A and B are shown apart, each in its own frame.
Chain A
Amino acid sequence: MSEKIGGEVVPDSTKKLDVNGEIDLMIEDLDLWYGDKQALYGVSLPIAKNSVTALIGPSGCGKSTLLRMMNRMNDLISICHYDGKISMGDTEITAKDADLVEIRKNIGMVFQRPNPFPKSIYDNVGYGVKLHTKPTREELDAIIEKSLKRAAIWDEVSDRMHDLGTSLSGGQQQRLCIARTIAVEPDIILMDEPCSALDPIATAAIEELILELKKDFTVVIVTHSMSQAARVSDYTGFMYLGRLVEFGETDKIFSDPDLELTKRYITGRFG
């Protein structure tokens, strides 16, 4: 079965998609509606372990929705309902009785706008750790230091751990949010346009950090910047009108895409 989108015949989006190595998260045939409006049409996508997967596409194509579906963040929107399956190993994320707390602990999320808690830097990172484990003071200090170091912000904040998290600059806040996320040791980190509110220097710092994080975590990133996707990701999925129209290794997508539509989008000659 094939469909015609944007004046082009695209292959059936449920076809088998392959990645090298172990699959961490598998999305199968996901449909999603906001009320009556369908936002995702039969999306299937494998996320490879310890890699960076980028989702690109024009605004409103459903990339953020798909990302937020991976840790069931869409449950916060009351009119949202879905059909399909997302699984992580043996755990079925879309199951009705799924343990959302456990899922969100294992699949952390970094948002578009930096949103540290209005608490001190120390508490920002320590809060999640204290929720899930009962560390002693020394253990907590060690975890916080380690997380901040991994998020490459330790040097900047080590002397003012008890200042408000919101008193940092935008780029620092975003890295603080990343530190907060990795402090609870998730398997996957979802990033929803983490650099869209930042300047080029802060963006560069975050991108460097993503490449570093890849060693320990699986990263899924939604981005509007083609160059960013090309720089940081191993796999790229191109979404259009709620469908995942093309998915593959980043090098291939950016050098020799299968579809004319993808090519037009990534070269900026869209529509």
Chain B
Amino acid sequence: MKDIDKLQKRSRKLRNLTERVGSTSLAIAGLIGLLFLGVLIWQIAEPTFIKGEQGEITAVSEWIPESDYRFEWDFPNIDENGNLTGDPVVIRFEWDDENGSHSHDVQINVIQTRQIKTDIYIDSNGVDQTEIDVGRKTKFYAYSTLSVPVTVEQISGPVPNADDTGYPSVNTFVISGDVHVLWDDENEQVFQTLELLAWTTLLILIIVFTWPHETVISLLSKIESYKKLVRGVFYILAALTLSLSFEFSDKADILELENYLPTLDAALGALCWAMCGTILYRLLEGIERLKNLKREIHETSRLKHSISNRDGILMWSRMLLFTSTIFIPLLIDIPFLTERYQDIFVPYASGIRAAFYGTIWVMLIAMVVSIPISVGAAIYLEEYAKPNRITKLIQALVTNLAGVPSIVFGMFGLAIFVKQGGIGWGLGPSVLAAGLTMGVMAMPIIVLGGQEALRSVPRSVRESAYGIGCTRWQVTKDHVLPSAMPGIMTGTILAMSRIMGEAAPLVVVGATAMILFDPEPLAALNGGNLNFTVIPIQIYFWTAEPDHAWHSMAAAASITLICLLIAMNSIAIVLRQHFRKRLKS
């Protein structure tokens, strides 16, 4: 008896020790991981966003003896007919050198058309132009290759967004990480403000919804009787946001992504408003129900349960929030992301606009191609296919495809989509070929994820539906798919985020190192310019540059990519959690 006691005591001791050692080592490992991550982020962030602002620029000037100054005006001073409205913008460049003092005036015409950019070059012969055209919302640069400092002064016209000293020195530089809100004109200002407001309101409402606090709820319960009115107001705001966008989207060139962005932004904004209205309505309804049941307001957990479990409204609103967050860089102007192309000579004046748009297009094409086919295949394999030899073969092939290295998919894309002749479609090294390749790569992952999700739908769901006389398609459509949808979407988003960070297949397909324009998605079909690039490719080529400044830019692009990936994965996490919760209840 005593021996057994001893043994038990020893084993308990051992167990406790293992527990403690295990948890401590796990905690230490986690902390080291966090530390590592912190150091990594700091190493990436520090040269780019902090040090780069002053120090690194001189390094650039060492091998190209030039300095530059950025100008921007946000409002046109030329109407459609080319007539000046108001004072002309005139800039005076002045410098002193061994030949005496120089003074040159340049007239700037800010015109309605976007993306026209003329730079000013100053050398020992003077300024190369006396009058230049610059597109609205486009930045242009004045470059000097003189060894002496040049002063810039605006002598007439409206004042641009200048340095805060008011009298800018020539060495001022624009840094890639800067965030500032740019308004095109007064009307557009209203519409963008509406969108940002919608986003913020949605964020606040989701927070209220997720952690309903007593004071907030009791405040809300005061407007409970006006709930229909409140919802109406939000719907009107949604309609307003949407209607304003149509006025400003320019549909002249239907292949220009930028022309759709305002509409897309506005649609998201409108959705945000509508979702706000619905959430608030549901919340107030829930409060009313609680009151009818003679419950106290402080039973917020009950409220949360009764609303959030109702029809996944919370999940959808969270998804909407995440999705619209990805589009925030287009709303608030982040020049690095949405304004600047790569500048061959000046790393810090470069941006990843071309790569960002390329990524968006490749992702969109890949999604359009892969999601319907893969989800359909998953449903067929799981719900319809008889378990015979052919099905087993297909299943094995799909499973193996998911493990094939991505470069192999690149070769596949090269052979099928890029090359002309034989089995090749002859799309060339274009966005379309890249999107199709990426879509093919995502397919097996989505199929497997979808099958997993469909398989995890409990049998009772199918039985109960069959039991009242549903056909197979009705069972799939009305019962199995809604239960499996979050799982399928999780798989889809994970597949999408995987192909977003994938560079290898596109190296084979033929993404280019540097392009100075927006990629055209359908160029392969209508004979436009085929060249495109995506963020991972841009990072890859920038890291291969000899100048360290480019490495910082690559780091900045990496951070952008990481942010995008985190956003995508957050959606997946939200979906998964929602899925689990619903299975439990």
Residues on A lying within 8 angstroms of B by beta carbon are 71, 73, 76, 78, 101-105, 108-111, 113, 115-118, 127-128, 131-132, 163-164, 166-167, 177, 180-181, 184
Contacts and interface: CB of A to CB of B under 8 A. Distances in A.
Contact of A105 (B465, B469, B482): B469
B387 interface: yes
A115 B460 CA distance: 6
Contact of B464 (A164, A167, A177): A177
B466 A117 contact: no
23 contacts: A73-B463, A73-B467, A76-B463, A78-B386, A101-B471, A104-B466, A105-B468, A108-B467, A108-B468, A111-B460, A111-B463, A115-B460, A117-B461, A117-B479, A118-B483, A127-B468, A128-B469, A131-B469, A131-B470, A132-B469, A164-B309, A166-B585, A184-B468
B582 A118 contact: yes
B464 A115 contact: yes
A104 B575 CA distance: 34
Given A104-B466, A104-B469, A113 B460 contact: yes
A158 to B, nearest CB: 14
B150 to A, nearest CB: 71
**Ranked 3 nearest A-B pairs via Cβ:** A105-B469, A128-B468, A109-B467
Nearest to B463: A111
B377 to A, nearest CB: 19
B474 interface: yes
Chain B interface category by residue count: 20 to 34
Contact of A111 (B386, B464, B470, B482): B464
B462 interface: yes
A129 B474 CA distance: 13
Please indicate which of the listed interface residues A78, A101, A113, A166 has the most CB atoms of chain B within 10 Å of its own CB: A101
Given A78-B387, A117-B479, A101 B464 contact: no
Contacts of B460: 111, 113, 115
B468 A180 contact: yes
Contacts of B464: 111, 115-117, 177
A267 B585 CA distance: 39
A118 B469 CA distance: 18
Contact of A127 (B387, B471, B478, B482): B478
B305 to A, nearest CB: 9
B287 to A, nearest CB: 15
Nearest to B465: A117
Interface string B469-481: 1110010001100
Nearest to B471: A101
A76 B467 CA distance: 11
Contact of A184 (B465, B469, B582): B469
A123 B470 CA distance: 15
A108 B483 CA distance: 23
A128 to B, nearest CB: 4
Contacts of A167: 306, 309
Contacts of B455: none
Nearest to A104: B469
B293 to A, nearest CB: 9
Contacts of A109: 463, 467
Interface in B540-562: none
B463 A115 contact: yes
Contact of B310 (A73, A117, A164, A180): A164
B469 A181 contact: no
